[in-house]
Structures are given as C-alpha cells and as structure tokens.
A and B are shown apart, each in its own frame.
Chain A
C-alpha cells in the first residue's frame, strides 16, 4: 500500500478488532457462567497423567520432573503450587484453583495441575 489507508480501511480494522473482542467476550461469558465446583485434581507431566487426587484430600507432594520440581498442595478444597524450581514461578504465584476446568500450568517443567468435575 503506497498511500495513507482510506477511512474505509481503518473502519475495517475497527470491525476486525470488534470481531476479536466479540469472540473473546463470548468465550469469557461461556467460560465464566459454566464454571462449576470441581471434584478431582489430576497432575500430568508431559501430557501424561501421573497422579489423581480428590479435592477434599489433604495433599502435600513434590512433583519431580526432569531438571526440576513443583511442590503441590491440596488443602481446604483448593489446589495450588507452593513453590517450584522453574525460572518464572508463574505456577507458584497462581491463585489456588477449585473449579472444574481450572488449571495451573508450569511450562518449563511441563506440568499441568487440572481440576475436573468427575
């Protein structure tokens, strides 16, 4: 494009952003409204489920992976990661999860802690 885009192009840009926002809003509404309390917690490493617990269990376990570990705690109906060896600690700073579908992911260690409804 060699000229300053016409107003029509900018309008299309706005429509594009609007479409993205709409999709995001719908996804957010669907996801927020269908959240139910979870029942069990699965821990997977590298995509394979390694442990399953109930949300009502009391768990205090260190998940060992190649080159690191994540310290998982399940207490009071919520699951969270107390500490981890990964460089970014997103998993450790995540707030405790308890709803079906919620997850705490540690990308460097390839660990996923997920709450499910059954």
Chain B
C-alpha cells in the first residue's frame, strides 16, 4: 500500500470515528440540566489524536468534514456556524500551543475546550447582536476546562498505545 492510500484510508476511518463519537454524544442524556448545551466533545479525541499523530491539516480536514456531516444530518445553518466557529478557533489555538512544546496533550486539550466555547459565544454574539451573552463564558470556561481534561487524557492514552502506527506525513 502506498503512503497515500494508507493516509486516505486512515483519515476516512478517523472521520467515521469522529462522526460516531459525535452521534453517540447526541444520544446521551444532557450532562447538566441547568445548561443543556454543555457537551464533552468526544469527537475532539480524534481531532487531537490526528493533530499529534499526523498533521494539523489532517486534523482540520477531519474536523470540518465531521462538522459538515453532523450539521447536514442533524442540524441547521446556525448550528453549522456555531460549530465551525468553535472548531476553527479551538484547533488554531491548540496547534499554536502544541508548537511551543510547553504543554502536555491535556494542557493543549484544555485550551482547546475553552477556546471552542469562546468561539461559539462569539458566534452567538454575532447572530444575536448582544454582548451580554458573554456572561455565559464564566460557566463555559469551567465546563470547557473539565471537558478538555477528559478529552486530553483519552487522546493521550490513545497516542501512547498506538506508538507503532507511523505516518510520514
């Protein structure tokens, strides 16, 4: 198998995985009834794994495809815009932090979780035109951190146990 075929197949599987994680998360009952929108962001385990294992481009591609498919199947234009805003901001910051080499996978994931929420709130402010929605960020910073810790640990474990998998991207 050529390197390219290997890459294409692997990313295809990764995308399918991300979609399934996202779907399962949709089926689970809300983690916190007070704020129903709070999610763990399980699909990001795949995204962070790809960021570390393969490349930023592949992580970005898989993330976008996952978002488009989920929004197409289960969402609408607004949900699509919120997801894209969150994902783009979160992935950019995570890639930057990873590049500095100063943080562990968990730290990068925590930053990703918080920035994802920041991105979504910014989108909400754009859609609804009021800056007061920013107050939600106080709670979302906490849930984003907690989600980041969980996702970060999962991604780190995955990376640890798949050391034999190699990509010369």
Q: Is the interface of A mostly helix, strand, loop or mixed?
A: mixed
Known: A1-B105, A24-B142, A47-B127. A101 touches B132 (CB 8 A): yes
Known contacts A16-B107, A16-B111, A90-B35: does B127 contact A1 (CB below 8 Å)? Answer: no
Report how many residues on chain A are interfacial, defined by Cβ distance under 8 Å.
31
Q: Are A44 and B128 in contact (CB under 8 A)?
A: yes
Which residues of B (119-135) have their CB < 8 Å from a CB of A? 124, 127-130, 132-133, 135
Q: Which residues of A contact B130 (CB under 8 A)?
A: 44, 47, 103, 105, 112, 114
CA distance A72 to B62 in the complex (A): 43
Check B128 against A110 for contact (C-beta < 8 Å): yes
> Is A58's beta carbon under 8 Å from chain B?
no
The answer to whether A9 and B132 touch (CB under 8 A), given A16-B110, A16-B111, is no
B-chain residues with CB within 8 Å of residue A110 when the two chains form the complex: 127-128
What B residues does A16 contact at CB under 8 A?
A: 103, 107, 110-111
Q: For residue A1, which residues in chain B have a CB less than 8 angstroms away from its CB?
A: 52, 104-105, 159
Task: Identify the closest chain B residue to A87 (Cβ).
Answer: B36
A71 to B142: give the CA distance in the assembly, Å: 31
Confirm or deny: B114 has a beta carbon within 8 angstroms of a beta carbon on chain A.
yes
B89 at the interface (CB under 8 A from A): no
Is A65 positioned at the interface, with any CB of B under 8 Å from its CB? no
A27 within 8 A of B: yes
Selected from A10, A13, A31, the residue in CB contact (under 8 A) with B135 is A31
CA gap between A10 and B104 in the complex, in Å: 6
Does B28 have its Cβ within 8 Å of any Cβ on chain A?
no
Closest Cβ–Cβ distance, residue A50 to chain B (whole Å): 12
Q: Are B137 and A27 in contact (CB under 8 A)?
A: yes
Interface string of A12-36 (1 = CB under 8 A from B): 1100110011011001100100000
A103 to B132, CA, bound (A): 7
Interface presence of B4 (CB below 8 A): no
- A9 and B104 form a contact (CB under 8 A): yes
State in angstroms the CA–CA spacing of A34 and B115 once bound together. Answer: 26
Binding site for B on A (CB under 8 A): 1-2, 4-5, 9-10, 12-13, 16-17, 20-21, 23-24, 27-28, 31, 44, 46-48, 88, 90, 101-103, 105, 107, 110, 112, 114
**11 A-B pairs whose Cβ atoms sit less than 8 Å apart in the complex:** A1-B52, A1-B104, A9-B103, A10-B104, A24-B137, A46-B127, A46-B128, A47-B127, A47-B128, A103-B133, A107-B37
